[in-house]
Chain A
Amino acid sequence: MPRSDRPPLHHTLRAVPTAALAAVAAGGVLGSLARYALQLAFPSRPDAFDLATFLANVLGGVCIGALMAVLTETTRHPLLRPFLGIGILGGFTTFSTYVVGVARALDAGEAALAFGYGLATVAAALAAVAAAFYATRLLLRRRRGGAA
């Protein structure tokens, strides 16, 4: 959909603070290394449920839900979302390893495992983000209401 009032792309990109890009990169490295540590603790097998990736994606859902409730209810440092949300949690969670887990299970002839793992991850991650978001928002609003 062409829009004449849209500025050129390089204006949009030049407006990105270098600090935000650095925060995303640094957070992405830390989150990915934490995910790797989890994979070392719970090694995956093609014919078994990939617990490490499941835990990373569900825990990451809890954290992003709580973080976004804090960021939408209060005013925080502008680098907090790039570092914690886009960087650390984006790097900690992974969609690609999730799809690889489904593919490996299918390749190993474990169709039930593939679909079970696929559905369990998406259901648990969505439930985690919703529960953490609403619980944190409720807490923040109660505390603010009590203080006012």
Chain B
Amino acid sequence: MSTDTTAQEKLIDLAAEFYDQLERGEIPEMSVPTRTKSNIVFDEDSDVWVYGDRESTRSANSVRGARKLLKAIYTIEFLADQLDADRSSTLRELYYLSESWDVDEAQFSSQDESNQLVEDLEIVSEVTREDFHMRPEESGATIMGPLYLREQTRRGEREIHCQEDVGEGGYQIPNNPDTIEFLDNDADFVLCVETGGMRDRLVENGFDEEYNTIIVHLKGQPARATRRITKRLHDELDLPVTVFTDGDPWSYRIFGSVAYGSIKSAHLSDYLATPEAQFIGIQPEDIVEYDLPTDPLSDSDVNALESELEDPRYQTDYWEKQIEIQLDIEKKSEQQSLASHGLDFVTETYLPERLDEMGVL
């Protein structure tokens, strides 16, 4: 329970800082890095994107700031008590729970506000949300593949093999994957898949068995737990990580958050991002090469692509080339459009070819 104690101490330190500010006659304030794409920088040491130097200050000097700080104190108290009691709660529960606080001004007006405040506290206290025992709403995604692990659950330890001990749905990743210990594996690489349909196709076709692959289902924009376990698979088991998504700008962002870290959690990039992750596709050039069925780009797609060109995370030769091709052909394709060449095309032709190209196979 030492992480819990540390987390609690750090929270109380934060409260003590406010206490001291008030005692010194200073205006209580709290500074956090500005969380926008213009304030993320590439960290050469860890190869991930982290926050830059710009900070936003929550200060009691304004009515807004004062309210934020009051909410922060109340949230700190709540989190400290939660750690004391060894309980956990979801972000959404925190939002509803604030309704029970005696001071109206301390209550959250939206869940965005409480989410943001928890992020603030993570950053300032350097403790992750998971260590506060705060869970996101949606459950984590799943794993299928030749991996043997031990999970520390509230009901005791469980040892699970992610092919043999699970159903077709795979192994459910817990909210805090750091409770998992990897025991053994026969894997050659990790394949992260965006959509459930494609994941099921790969499992049905037995791709994980044939290629000794750990298939991680991302379920769209991946939850922190998914990203964390992916990073651990890479770092601890030394497995190459590949990402297979749709061929549109939103999917590139899914890859971005796996590989480079997301803007909102750049303070945790060290902990969550897998910079070595490689992008399989669907690449814009695949659309041409494999003559895939397409949809035209919508205006918002074009805007998203252009915005990615300005995003420091995508300013690489590879991404600039791919994005420009896509802007040029004005088309996008889904993973499952590969089915236009037959149901086995993806496992028998596309993935082997791409993985070979990338040097994974």
Real complex partners, A and B? no
B residues with a Cβ closer than 8 A to A are none
A residues with a Cβ closer than 8 A to B are none
